[in-house]
Amino acid sequence: MKEKYIHTLFIAGLLLSFFFSGMGNDAYAQKSDKAADGEESKEDFEAASGMFEGLDAMEAMALANKLGEGKNSFTSFITPESINIKIPGGKTFSVPLPEDRMVVAIAPYVKTTHKCSTHYMSGCKGELFEEDVSVIAKKKDGSVILSKDMKTMSNGFIELWLPRDLEIDLTIVYKDMKSGGTITTNSDSKTCITTFQLK
């Protein structure tokens, strides 16, 4: 899994370098102005489609996170069904999630949080950037789904790929603090959880 993640980030870096190398600031500003005027940008849509074509859900999520770190006019978000990239002009390119799993983004916090139900990789920011946490996820019968040490990403979130159609008890530990609660992985569940306050 670790090797696959590193490989995914490498692919994401190459794709981003390819995409932005041929687009100077002036050219990109012109595209943004065109989109702001209500004109759909076929070029932007084709570029996004090309970047995400052939990627599986985890690779697409890694690329969407990379796009979220930079300055561009893409809007990226995740629903229980898919990873979505919205292009200036209104078009949306989607990569479906697996039938048996969905991804939930969680931003544990100590003092500061924000209300959220749909996770936007292009906009959501948590409080704890690149911090070590421990995560335990259990089914209601007590069986462990996930138990691992993780690092929050540069946006303050961790992303958990979890089985669908479950009610899950989640515990997050950070330093000498912890937080717990219940999340769900249904078709109408939140993909952004910002209510886990560490105490």
pTM for the complete prediction?
A: 0.78
Rounded to 5 degrees, φ, ψ at 29 are -60, -40
The full DSSP string for 33-61 is: HHHHTT---HHHHHHHHHHHTT--HHHHH
The per-residue pLDDT string of the chain (199 residues; one tens digit each, 9 = 90 and over) reads: 445 444 444 445 544 444 444 443 343 344 444 444 444 456 666 666 677 888 999 999 998 998 888 777 789 999 999 999 887 777 888 999 999 999 999 999 999 999 999 999 999 999 999 999 999 999 999 999 999 999 999 999 999 999 999 999 999 999 999 999 999 999 999 999 999 999 9
- H or E segment and range at residue 150: strand 144-151
DSSP state of 109: B
- Top CATH class of 101-193 equals mainly beta
Using an 8 Å Cβ cutoff, are 74 and 60 in contact?
A: no
Q: In what order do the strands lie in the sheet with 119-120?
A: 92-96, 82-86, 75-78, 119-120
DSSP state of 1: -
Token code pair at residue 114 = 């924000």
